[in-house]
Amino acid sequence: MRTSEIHRRWLDFFATKDHEIVPSAPLVSSDPSILFTIAGMVPFIPYIVGTEKAPYPRAASVQKCIRTNDIENVGRTTRHGTFFQMAGNFSFGDYFKQGAIDYSWEFLTTSQEGGGLGFDPERLWFTVWEQDEESYRHITEVIGLDPQRVVRLPREEIFWDTGQPGPAGPCGEWHYDRGPEYGPDAVTGSVPEWPGDEKGEDRYIEIWNLVFDQYLRGEGSGKDYPLLGELEQKSIDTGLGVERVAYLLQGVDNMYEIDQIFPVIEKAQELSGRVYGADGEDDVHLRIIGDHVRSALMLVADGVRPGNEGRGYVLRRLIRRAVRSMRLLGYSERSMPALLPVSKSLMVESYPELEAAFARISDIVYAEEEAFRRTLETGTSIFDGVVGAVKKEGGRVLPGEDAFRLHDTYGFPIDLTMEMAGEVGLQVDADAFRSAMQEQRERARADAAAKKTGHTDTAVYHRLLSQRGGEIPFLGYTEDTVATTVESVLVDGQLVDVVQAPAQVEVVLASTPFYAESGGQLADQGQISLTGGGLIEVDDVQRPVRGLIVHRGRLLEGEVASGVSAIATIDAERRGAIARAHTATHMVHESLREELGHGATQAGSENSPGRMRFDFRYGQAVPKSVLEQIEGRVNTLLQDELTVTDQQMSLDEAKALGAQALFGEKYGEIVRVVSIGGDWSRELCGGTHVASTGAIGTVQLMGEASIGSGVRRVDALVGLSAYRHQAKEHALVSQLTELLKVGAAEELPERVRSLTQKMKDMEKQLATLRGQQLQAEAATLVESASTVAGVRLLAHDVGEGVGAGDLRTLALDLRSRLGEDQPVTVAVAGHEGGRAALVIATNAAARELGLAAGAILRGAAEAMGGRGGGKPDMAQGGGGEPTRIPSALSAVREAVETARRA
């Protein structure tokens, strides 16, 4: 039964029992003190605790839940998801214990045709509080459950409370027995030995908890409090794990193999080439991926965004753990764009709102993967180096300073470092990490300021500046070409009198039109021609110390000596494109402040030819609609031809005018203020700008993303680059319009949607056909079984276009067709997309003879050049060469012979 069907049946069942059907509350509430909704009862707490009167006497819901305390369990137990759906029925002063038990029994055991779940009553166990006679008698006498399967537990194990004085009460819990293959028998009787789901977690699975809200409790810690008396309004609150029921009903091993999750795992297998079931650790990673991708999808859908604390951090951790698991499976490409849509397609039936929201959700998730990839790339190699060094010394502790360096310089989260260290048997010195964090904060700031000088030794530049006794005049606000003289020449940071071409040189001029990189504006480029025929191609201009402008470039011809005359000319086209970008940056900045408030302050920028980047402090992503508004606003103002002016004034005057200054930047006494449109935008700025916004042409915002703790970045194309980009997109759209044969571009989305739908339908049809074909073949295939050393052996190559899933079904089908009377071993192989797959199944009689599917498979997969493994009754492998399938099948035959001879 599909998971969405369980969901639907639940609501239908309780609707017929007069329950108000209440839609799931979001995963996050407006109350910031509650991290996530962790149970179905959360939205009903006021009615249960009695602070509000319930608007209905009984209700039912299927609630989305997130439990972060189960993160570590994911993939390791069979039953814990970070996201799961809890189905609940509630009574507020209406029916009590007997009603709750009756409904649960009816829903669990009514046949599937009759609308229930159709669980075998003989497999159901019930746990009750040892003093709860009423429940015990009802379940054994009225329901008639065998007392051997009713376990009475002490208060510590089966009581519910809120942790403070108020309502409390015993629970009754339904468990499903998966049978002796999964663990030891429970012993009931006078001293019950109940493995519960702690030790015997694989066998007795808790599926449904009924909370009987019966007593008023007093002060006390833990479960040690007095029961003061019975509540006036008794309530019922229950929770059934939809995923747990799903995996039991779907006959799979654990909750990650259900229909709402497993296709994500299959996608991850396909990407990574690893085979589920072949290796214990790989399986854990595959399950983590299946679980976390879904949780991320649902969290982002409910408005959570990746961040560094609280809910955002949990989401970030889930996405990063999934990405990292993919990498540990050997896949280091982008994986979310392949995995997330699969998860969406699985969840959309129960949560149709995912469809429309998916563009937004995927933007956020993909951007987070992208950010993490950048972090990982640098961080991992540094981490490996540190681990190597520690291990070489025989150490067990990863120094806190290194953990800090990873965090500070490479943005590696500390918990990731700790997790990765744990995996290689090291511990992180957390105390040292914290103190390094404290100490180096200051130093990091100082370092950042000194970064741009190129040469670490700035003494020579200081000397040059003091020798000339004043700043070098920058004439580039008005001039593109300046006649000047060479003041000094440096090669490799050393002063020289003269140097011949070709050479890499640094040149200081008496005055210059070249803008040195600063305030986010890139340096000018151009040429310096020298008297006597020398020519320097300038590619970078820096200000190693305030007031000194140094031109860096290549001396192509002749020689350069200090004292010669020079004509300095900038590349005016490049400068123009940079100026357009810089003015555009001011305009985007002001428009952002208009839309997002004055908290959105500048954190950095870069103005390059035809392109701008603007970083600003803002705690969350800027919605697409707001970005569109900003883009519209800026482009309207371009058309208005606002004038751009600059003025020198004292810092105090500038502040009084409300000019924007860059936080943390040092300004001199006299500053330059650039204004656009009078007082619309005013910024302290030394950069070069256009004279009127009309010169900019077009500004096109390309996107917005987080670049780390609370800082966002917008990118935009400016002027001609924006035009070229639009022209390219336009050409693309025309091409698509033609290819997809639609009349107008507007019809494209609909056409693509219908094509994708068609493709999906065809894939489905194909899968059905293939299934039918295999079924038909199975009937004749059985005939081809041979007898090898007393074992019925059926080894067959199905050929191309058959995946592992189909092979599994076929193998099971063949095994059951061959019956239980004689030992049977079935081996079926096939290939798809150049990859071979092999499935082996044995029946009980064969296993008794020592024929274990897992062991046989390992040898056979090797013969094929792949790998795999599994349980004694069923195993699966793949990888290898399709041409070597025959050798794999002979290996199976040999294994059977050898095992029988031995």
Decide whether 244 or 689 has the Cβ nearer to ligand ATP: 244
Q: Which residues of 843-870 are buried (b: 16+ CB within 10 A; e: fewer)?
A: bebbbebebbbbbbbbebbbbbebbbbb
Distance (Å, whole) CA 259 – CA 262? 6
* Beta carbon nearer to ligand ATP, 244 or 407: 244
CB of 42 or CB of 432, closer to ligand ATP: 42
CA–CA distance, 271 with 262 (Å, rounded to integer): 14
CB 623 to ligand ATP: min, Å: 32
CB of 415 to ligand ATP, least distance (A): 20
User: CA-CA distance, 507 to 516, in Å (whole number)?
Assistant: 13
- Which amino acid, residue 541? V
Q: How far apart are CA 882 and CA 810, in angstroms?
A: 19
125 near 174, Cβ under 8 Å?
Answer: yes
- DSSP class of 220: -
What's the rounded Cα separation, in Å, for the pair 8 and 107?
Answer: 13
Closer CB to ligand ATP, residue 278 or residue 299?
A: 299
Distance CA 747, CA 740 (A): 10
**Closest separation in Å from C-beta 255 to ligand ATP:** 6
Pair of tokens at residue 525? 């480029």
Question: Least distance to ligand ATP from the beta carbon of 86, Å?
Answer: 5
Residue 153 CB, nearest approach to ligand ATP (Å) = 13
**What is the dihedral angle through the alpha carbons of 760, 764, 767, 773, rounded to the nearest 10 degrees?**
-130
Taking the complex as a whole, the smallest distance from the CB of residue 279 to ligand ATP amounts, in Å, to 24
| CA-to-CA separations, 241 to 42, 244, 260, in angstroms, rounded | 15, 5, 14
Please say which residue, 343 or 569, places its beta carbon nearer to ligand ATP.
343
- C-alpha atoms less than 13 angstroms from C-alpha of 590 in its C-beta half-sphere: 21
Select 209 or 591, whichever has its Cβ closest to ligand ATP: 209
- Closest approach, Cβ 766 to ligand ATP, in A, equals 33
| CB crowding 27-41: b at 16 or more within 10 Å, else e | bbeeeeeeebbbbbb
Distance CA(92)–CA(638), nearest Å, equals 63
Q: At its nearest, how many Å lie between ligand ATP and the CB of residue 194?
A: 13
Q: Which is nearer to ligand ATP, 162 or 754 (CB)?
A: 162
Residues at the interface with ligand ATP (CB under 6 A): 39, 67, 70, 79-81, 84, 86, 197, 206-209, 239-241, 243-244
Q: Output 183 or 710, the one with its CB closest to ligand ATP.
A: 183
Q: How far is CA 797 from CA 776, 777, 833, in A?
A: 15, 12, 16
- Cβ distance to ligand ATP smaller for residue 246 or 807: 246
CB of 385 to ligand ATP, least distance (A): 38
Cβ 226 to ligand ATP shortest distance, Å? 24
Give me the residue whose beta carbon is nearest to ligand ATP. 241
What is the distance between the alpha carbons of residues 276 and 285, in angstroms, rounded to a whole number? 10
Per-position b or e across 229-268, b if 16+ CB within 10 A of its CB: eebeebbbbbbbbbbbbbbbbbebebbbbbbbbbbbbbbb
Taking the complex as a whole, the smallest distance from the CB of residue 209 to ligand ATP amounts, in Å, to: 4
Q: With respect to ligand ATP, which residue has the nearer C-beta, 248 or 781?
A: 248
- Measured CA to CA, the distance from residue 686 to residue 661 in angstroms comes to 11
| CB nearer ligand ATP, residue 75 or residue 93 | 75
- What minimum distance in Å lies between the beta carbon of 390 and ligand ATP? 36
Residue whose token pair is 């590349």: 571
Q: How far is the CB of 266 from ligand ATP (least distance, A)?
A: 21
Do the beta carbons of residue 10 and residue 2 sit within 8 Å? no
**Cβ closer to ligand ATP: 240 or 603?**
240
**Most distant CA pair in the chain, distance:** 113
From CA 236, how far away is CA 135, in angstroms rounded?
A: 13
Nearest distance from C-beta of residue 117 to ligand ATP, angstroms: 13
HSE (side-chain half, CA atoms, 13 Å) at 541: 31
Select from 879, 783, 795 the least CA-distant residue to 834: 879
Q: How far is the CB of 195 from ligand ATP (least distance, A)?
A: 13
322, two tokens: 């999934």
Nearer to ligand ATP, 3 or 269 (CB): 3
| Percent helix / strand / coil, the chain, rounded to 5 | 45, 25, 30
Least distance to ligand ATP, CB of residue 319, Å: 19
Instruction: Please give the sequence-ordered ranges of beta strands (E in DSSP) within 248-361, or none if there are none.
Output: none
| Pair 161, 94: CB distance under 8 Å | no
Please enumerate in sequence order all residues whose Cβ is within 8 A of that of 363, keeping only pairs 6 or more positions apart, or say none: none
Burial class from Cβ neighbours inside 10 Å (0-12, 13-18, 19+) for residue 601 reads middle
Nearer CB in complex with ligand ATP: 74/888: 74
State in angstroms the smallest separation of the CB of 198 from ligand ATP.
8
Nearest to ligand ATP of 204, 412 (CB atom)? 204
**Element housing 395 (H / E):** none
CB of 862 to ligand ATP, least distance (A): 37
Residue type, 418: M
- The residue among 42 and 338 lying less far from ligand ATP, judged by its C-beta, is 42
Instruction: Report how far residue 827's alpha carbon sits from residue 892's, in angstroms, rounded to the nearest whole number.
Output: 7
Nearer to ligand ATP, 85 or 675 (CB): 85
- Which residue number, 174 or 433, has a Cβ lying nearer to ligand ATP? 174
Nearest to 711 by CA among 634, 629, 599: 599
Q: What angle do CA 262, 264, 270 make, to 5 degrees?
A: 105
